[in-house]
Structure 1
């Protein structure tokens, strides 16, 4: 091979290498995994209309009478949670009452979480009682009743221009719901089918609403593993995981650590974000409540990719032990305590 050809080949090789270098695009930097673009600070105020009907009033810190939604918003609350009962006594938490409260939350520019209990009254780890009208239904009929009830409430909201950001299928369903048919410890497949039915009902009206399955005791990793292993192995459909956390004034730091550990495992294992949809602490210890919530929010914001999505205080506006509940965040004069200042941070 003569020197002229060698020179040409060298020039071609140099050009090719140069071309490759100039056309290779720099790799984008990975986003900070702890960056939280949206964090939701919420309150469940489902008692509000019943309280107001009973003459309960609320006040800004300076003593000015004010609407509860305005007070909460001034404390950094940006989301509202409302429970739904099927045929409740007196109508409180029924579809009409929920719509009235949802309109007020929407007018205040707040996000909305709808919590279907699928009962005529309280549903929680100790009681998941079917609505009276559903007591004698077959399982197929029970699924249809759940579907129709969900669609009815969702359509009422949609007709009024309200789109819930999140919807719970069941409340604190540690052992399923709609017992005995949907009791998870005896028939996980039935519970999974009910969750999927609720999911499909929500999505049929509001495809963008995220559907949660909610358990209590957010620190209890074994409980969450058992329940969500059961749901996923039975192909249940859901978008998010919700949890409650009610520590004491002496164990809250340890419970927060356990809760964070549980959330991190849930996000990794089930590929779903998590939100703490209920917290509370005795109203007469607002400083400790503030420390608890501040620490919990700080921990949730460390969950990678914003998968620790938010914290909701349960019925903070319940003061003077309304209906025997003493874990609110208002004092006996109807003003917010320092507990809610945690949402301003």
Structure 2
């Protein structure tokens, strides 16, 4: 997701050096983790990576009646049953790109799970935003060889998931890379060198399955309406033996400068084609619409949910809104689903209908 925000200086990130486990450790975890949610129910989700930062700056959330309420509860009241959380390796405390540390991600995951939410973890493998236009290696990995990068991906993935497990959280989904049509960890992991990208993706997959084989691993591209883009990438993934369970898509008609009615059929076609061509499950892991056009965004969400539910054989797993709580005056982000008075947009009612 590409955007610009204007927030405030926030609290320092957590230091995890004392609580991360070695990836090769065989010591048994004494904490009993909460089982993964049974498969079969449709995921209606929200990515809330900004929430800790918003709360740290004192932002208040309100229900329709004007009462203060926890943001996660507000989302749950509107039908949201899944929370997606991005995680960065060593984030700064910058007002625009800080937070989302492993420790902060664990804290938010625990909060969400206590409300009965399902959890998705989105690994960016960067210290800040990773998307189609930038896939910058973490500073600590910048001078590492490719062999070292493979170890970095495995260990970081394993360590973060171990922190979650120790806190009693087993994510239902883990996303290895964020919007990676041109790869990740540039330049070594660019998709022009798909063989190396495949190895990096497989390290994330292997680390995830080492924590719990039932966790589903997602590979995520943008422009979910572009079937050619997806066929090119996942044909290469097949040739290079990439291991994954779910094909994740972003879908933003706003950035396509088009009404959703023009491209929703292309999204439906691509969802169906990915299932029939590769035998995988599919999920729209990012979607959003203009916060000023509540009815249009509501109707778009209804159409996207309908498209994913229409995928044959229940292979369409769910739809996740990207940062509905990121209200414009705080974030500068046009595609939130929140009003200037701190209340949720009626667009989110699409998730409870």
TM-score after normalising by structure 1: 0.88
Does residue 153 of structure 2 align to residue 146 of structure 1? yes
Does structure 1 retain, via aligned residues, the 8 Å contact 2:124–2:177? yes
2:321 and 2:208 map into 1 onto residues whose CA distance is: 24
Aligned residue among 87, 95, 100 for 2:107: 100
1:265-280 pair list within 5 angstroms: 265-280=273-288
Does residue 188 of structure 2 align to residue 175 of structure 1? no
Does residue 328 of structure 2 align to residue 344 of structure 1? no
Does structure 2 retain, via aligned residues, the 8 Å contact 1:154–1:206? no
1:321 and 1:188 map into 2 onto residues whose CA distance is: 41
Secondary structure of 1:309's aligned partner? strand
Aligned to 2:222: 216
2:328 and 2:207 map into 1 onto residues whose CA distance is: 39
For residues 75-95 of structure 1, the C-alpha deviation after alignment (integer angstroms, 9 at most, x for no partner) is 000000000100000261011
Aligned residue among 228, 234, 243 for 2:240: 234
| Gaps in structure 1 of 5+ consecutive residues | 1-35
Aligned to 2:209: 203
1:255 and 1:137 map into 2 onto residues whose CA distance is: 42
Q: Which protein has the bigger helix share?
A: 1
Does structure 1 retain, via aligned residues, the 8 Å contact 2:183–2:190? yes
Aligned residue among 246, 250, 253 for 1:247: 253
Aligned to 2:125: 118
1:146 and 1:66 map into 2 onto residues whose CA distance is: 38
Aligned residue among 135, 155, 159 for 2:166: 159
1:231 and 1:41 map into 2 onto residues whose CA distance is: 28
1:140 and 1:65 map into 2 onto residues whose CA distance is: 50
Shift of 1:321: 3.9
1:255-270 pair list within 5 angstroms: 255-270=263-278
Does structure 1 retain, via aligned residues, the 8 Å contact 2:222–2:249? yes
1:196 and 1:94 map into 2 onto residues whose CA distance is: 23
Compute the RMSD of aligned alpha carbons. 1.2
Aligned to 1:12: none
Larger-gyration structure (1/2): 1
TM-aligned CA distance change 1:338 to 1:250, over 3 Å: farther
| Gaps in structure 2 of 5+ consecutive residues | 1-38
Aligned to 1:310: 318
1:250 and 1:148 map into 2 onto residues whose CA distance is: 41
Does structure 2 retain, via aligned residues, the 8 Å contact 1:192–1:236? yes
Aligned to 2:41: 38
Aligned to 1:65: 68
- How many equivalent pairs are there? 309
Does structure 2 retain, via aligned residues, the 8 Å contact 1:46–1:81? yes
Shift of 1:308: 1.2
Does structure 2 retain, via aligned residues, the 8 Å contact 1:58–1:68? yes
Q: Displaced runs of 4+ in structure 1, greater than 3 A?
A: none
Secondary structure of 1:129's aligned partner? coil
For residues 65-115 of structure 1, the C-alpha deviation after alignment (integer angstroms, 9 at most, x for no partner) is 000111000000000000010000026101111011111111111000000
Does structure 1 retain, via aligned residues, the 8 Å contact 2:284–2:308? no
Aligned to 1:79: 82
Aligned to 1:30: none
Aligned residue among 318, 327, 339 for 1:319: 327
Aligned to 1:50: 53
Query: Quick check: 211-220 or 315-324, which moved more?
Result: 315-324
